[in-house]
Copies of this chain bind each other. A is one copy, B any other.
Amino acid sequence: MLYFPTITLDRSGSTSLSSQIAVRLRSSILLGEVRSGESLPSTRALAAVLGISRGSVVTAYDQLSGEGYLVSTQGAPTRVAVLLRGDPYQKPPSSVAASSRGQDTDLIDLTPGYPSTHRLSGPSWSAAWRTAAARPIPHTEPPLQGTRALRIKIAEHLRHARGVLCAAEDIVVTAGTSEALALVALALGESRRSGAQPESEPIPAPVVAVETPGYPAAARVLRRLGAILLPIPVEPDGMPTTILEDQASPPDAVLVTPSHQYPLGGRLPVDARLRLLRWAGHHNAWVLEDDYDSEFRHVGPPLPALASLDTDGRVVLIGSFSKILTPWLRLGYIVMPERQAVRAALLAVRRDLPCPVSGVLQDAATELLATGAVRRHIAAVRRDYAHRRNLVLDALSNHAGTTLTALDGGLHAVLEVTDQATARAAVRELLNRGIRVVNLETYSALPDGAAVPAGLVFGYAASTDTGLARALGHIREVTTRRY
């Protein structure tokens, strides 16, 4: 069956035609106007009907394919994906073989997660701090949720960069992702505290499902704040909701990295997203979306945040400026969902643990966002990272016995190798040569690195081009050896 969408275009130019088509098609799919498996018209036919260039339709189809709403197969019509069922999507990356050479030693730190900051200093940076320092100095703490001016600018940034429609009232400024997770862990406890229970009673520990492999710092802070972790082994596309559905006692929350699974790099397809939200709704669980590096997408347009699909008000979006600017700033945010119980719990905790972010930093960040410095910086480093990513691809794709993954977005890569012995020996040998990369098994939330493929994780953003090129040669060399 062929579905022919009714699309009314606004040609005033405020939104691109491709984006209008994508929005309309996405909502048709979500609203059930078009069913899983149905075919769409060819790009040429739809463009002709709408009286626009074919390129806009191709862009819209590509975006929805990237998001998992559509499936394109060479030589067959584009179809609506089988949502809320099966696994209609390809695994992300690639593998293969070749050769190269590294030289020398000099400590090159490729610990993942760090951005490049050399373009950050400059007139806009200095001006932002100068403006912030010139403001009259209040004698109070900053507002609990952060200054209103900063929250307005963060909401604007999220609308443009992440497709998240939120208002200043929805935002809580944080000192970064760890601080945000501490707040959320305590808020989960708060929401579990029964009204009748006396205050001095210990709060029952909340259970949080986490991805494994996953972000070890997140696991540490959640555990430190008293949460009990339920590690869920991820599949190539991300968190498998089936395992959540199989839990006899469902967790209180699930922490996911749907846009770019950390560290494996998968992206959660839209059917899995909907299924996750449905599961959460059924069990009254919170969905914690750690949107840690989604501003940097190298293949296809950035995916909208999971929070943008959330019609039920239970996705807590956690973001930071650590990757966009630098973790040296210690600045992030939570976008609270609609659900009143979630908001009340988060704000109750914030009243007891007041905003730790300096008002001067908040003012400076407001300036950086308002003057467009953040946007320009992202555009500039995105080009840098695309170039570095190509260096990684050139050196390590087609490298026998390994699989290079996680490169569709973000600032790091994963090189899967044949076995743990090889991974461990490679990390050790690289360190001997003055190069720091991380063993993928350290990202496991299970004992002994279980449920994690053998591999190396390394960041390619923070080093210099020459340092990176040299390190890549060594990585290739040590993973070619037999250990």
- A: residues with CB less than 8 A from B are 114-117, 120-121, 125-126, 128-130, 132-134, 136-142, 175-176, 178-179, 182, 186, 199-200, 202-203, 205, 217, 220-221, 223-226, 228-229, 322, 326-331, 349, 351-361, 364, 462
Contacts and interface: CB of A to CB of B under 8 A. Distances in A.
B349 A330 contact: no
Contact of A221 (B133, B329, B353, B364): B353
A133 B136 contact: no
A328 B202 contact: no
Contacts of A125: 133, 137
29 contacts: A117-B138, A121-B134, A125-B137, A126-B133, A128-B133, A129-B129, A129-B130, A129-B133, A137-B328, A140-B327, A141-B328, A142-B328, A175-B357, A176-B356, A182-B353, A202-B202, A202-B205, A217-B352, A220-B352, A221-B352, A224-B349, A328-B358, A328-B359, A329-B358, A329-B359, A330-B356, A331-B358, A360-B364, A361-B361
A121 B360 CA distance: 12
Nearest to A109: B140
Copies of this subunit: 2
Contacts of A220: 351-352
B326 A139 contact: yes
B327 A139 contact: yes
Contacts of A329: 358-360
Contact of A359 (B130, B133, B330, B359): B330
Most central of A128, A132, A359, A360 by chain B CB within 10 Å: A360
Contacts of A225: 186
Given A182-B353, A202-B226, 7 more contacts: A116-B139, A117-B136, A117-B139, A175-B175, A178-B353, A199-B223, A220-B351
Contacts of A139: 114-117, 326-328, 462
Given A114-B139, A138-B117, A358-B329, A226 B226 contact: yes
Given A139-B115, A328-B141, A228 B205 contact: no
B349 A179 contact: no
A358 B182 CA distance: 18
Contact of A357 (B115, B134, B200, B330): B330
Contacts of A331: 358
A293 to B, nearest CB: 14
Contacts of A178: 352-354, 356
A360 B129 contact: yes
